[in-house]
Structure 1
Amino acid sequence: MELSPELFRKLEALAKLRLAPEEEALLLEDLKRILAFVNTLPQVEALEAEEAWGRLREDAEGASLPQDQALALAPDREEGFFRVPPVLE
C-alpha cells in the first residue's frame, strides 16, 4: 500500500491533527516504514511461524510468594487482601 499525500492528509484530518511541515515529513516517513514492515508480514511462511511457536516453553507451576511476604510489599492492605483505589464510583 502506497501512502499518497492525499491519503496522508485524510488521515491527518481524521485524527484531527495540526502538524507543522517538519512534523508532517517525520510522521510521513515513520508511517511509510511501518507500512513497509506490515507489507513484509505475509511473506512469513506458515512453517516458519509454527517452528517459532514450537520453541516457546510450556507453562509450569512453580513456588509462589507466601501471602504475608506479598502483602508486606503492598502499599495498602486490609484483612489479608491488597487494597486498591476504586475503579468505578
Structure 2
Amino acid sequence: MELSSELLRKLEALAKLRLSPEEEALLLEDLRRILDFVDTLPQVEVEEGDEALGRLREDEERPSLPQALALSVAPDQEEGFFRVPPVLE
C-alpha cells in the first residue's frame, strides 16, 4: 500500500490531529516503515509446530483461587458472587 501525503492528511482529519510539516514528514516515514514491515510478514517461513503459528500451551488443570479469598477483595458481594453496578438501564 502506498502512503501518500494526501492519505496522511485524511488520517489526520479522521484522528482530529494537527501536525506541523515536520511532524507530518516524520509520521509519514514511520507509517511507511510499518507498512513495509507488515508487507514482509507473508514471506516469513513457518515450520510445522513452530511457536510462530500462534499455538497456545496445552491446558493444564490447576487449582483456582478459593472463592472466599477472591470475594475478600471485592468492593461488593452478595451470596457468594461479585456484585457490580448494572450496565443497562
- Using the TM superposition, give the Cα deviation of residue 54 of structure 1 relative to its aligned residue in structure 2, in angstroms: 8.4
1:23 counterpart = 2:23 = yes
Q: What does residue 50 of structure 2 align with?
A: 51
| Equivalent residue pairs, number | 88
Counting only pairs closer than 5 Å after superposition, residues 1-89 of structure 1 correspond to structure 2 as: 1-45=1-45, 47-48=46-47, 50-52=49-51, 53=53, 56-89=56-89
- Using the TM superposition, give the Cα deviation of residue 76 of structure 1 relative to its aligned residue in structure 2, in angstroms: 1.6
Task: Give the TM-score normalised by structure 2.
Answer: 0.74
Distance change >3 Å, CA 84–CA 10, structure 1 → 2: same
- Using the TM superposition, give the Cα deviation of residue 65 of structure 1 relative to its aligned residue in structure 2, in angstroms: 1.0
Question: Which structure is higher in helix share?
Answer: 1
Structure 1 portions without partners, runs of 5+? none
Task: Give the TM-score normalised by structure 1.
Answer: 0.74
CA RMSD of aligned residues (A): 2.5
Structure 2 portions without partners, runs of 5+? none
* Segment drifting more, 8-17 vs 65-74: 8-17
